[in-house]
Chains A and B, each alone.
Chain A
Amino acid sequence: GAGVSQSPRYKVAKRGQDVALRCDPISGHVSLFWYQQALGQGPEFLTYFQNEAQLDKSGLPSDRFFAERPEGSVSTLKIQRTQKEDSAVYLCASSSPLAGGPGELFFGEGSRLTVL
């Protein structure tokens, strides 16, 4: 596609519900990143995929957070048993390697999660 697409744009969940957030990266981009952005803060790294391999998940805040990218394209971030502190914007980005480095990062519009 022309850009990174995320869905849903807005999600309201009751505390304890499970949610799934989807990211469609730019076609052909091998790298995919998830970030969490709280209000007034910069994005915080969650996890990183290269193709279908999850190379770094050090930023996932708890074992309630799980991400997958089974076919190396679309990715899903799943949050189980949501808590109020999970309320944030979840940003997805993709890139293609450039001259030995990670390349330019392109972001989606984000999914805003509100947990009541």
Chain B
Amino acid sequence: KQEVTQIPAALSVPEGENLVLNCSFTDSAIYNLQWFRQDPGKGLTSLLLIQSSQREQTSGRLNASLDKSSGRSTLYIAASQPGDSATYLCNTDKLIFGTGTRLQVFP
């Protein structure tokens, strides 16, 4: 059974820092991996989808990489802003979510 782990569980940083959020999974036979953000009391917003044939995806200040062989994905957030404060979740093939990284960026 797929298990997904996210590290760190929580992160609090001053704005402007470059951040690295990690997602590891036990079963590398996946079609894709997707990163989401969730604001309090809201649903999940899709950030990036990496298909199994891809190594990375970029959107604005966000970059996500995927290494299937090692069972890892990394989300990079450049020049963090207070508006980036949210919980970040990774998901494999729609079924299994990590427990998330709670990010707080303070001014």
Complex CA distance for A91 and B44, rounded to whole angstroms: 9
A58 to B36, CA, bound (A): 23
How long is the Cα–Cα vector from A47 to B101 in the complex, in angstroms? 25
**From A31, A99, A104, contact of B34 by CB (8 A):** A104
A7 to B94, alpha carbons, bound, how many Å? 22
Q: How large is the interface on B (under 10, 10 to 19, 20 to 34, 35 or more residues)?
A: 20 to 34
Contact with A along B35-50 (1 / 0, CB 8 A): 0100000111110010
Q: Could you tell me the distance in whole angstroms from the C-beta of A95 to the nearest C-beta in chain B? A: 7
Min CB distance, A46 to chain B, in Å? 10
A104 neighbours in B (Cβ, 8 Å): 34, 46, 49
A86 to chain B, nearest CB (A): 19
Establish whether residues B46 and A99, one from each chain, have CB atoms under 8 Å apart when the complex forms: no
**Chain B CB within 8 A of A1 CB:** no
Residues of B within 8 A of A91 (CB): 43-44
Of A4, A98, A105, most B-chain CB atoms within 10 Å: A105
Complex-state Cα separation, A31 to B51, whole angstroms = 17
A52 to chain B, nearest CB (A): 18
Assess whether B93 is interfacial by the CB under 8 Å rule.
yes
Decide if B95 touches A45 in the complex (CB within 8 Å). Answer: yes
Contacts of A62 in B (CB 8 A): none
A105 touches B34 (CB 8 A): yes
Interface residues of B (CB under 8 A from A): 31-32, 34, 36, 42-46, 49, 51-53, 89, 91, 93-100
Sample of 9 further A-B pairs with CB below 8 A, known A45-B95, A107-B36? A43-B44, A45-B94, A98-B51, A103-B49, A105-B46, A105-B91, A106-B46, A107-B44, A107-B46
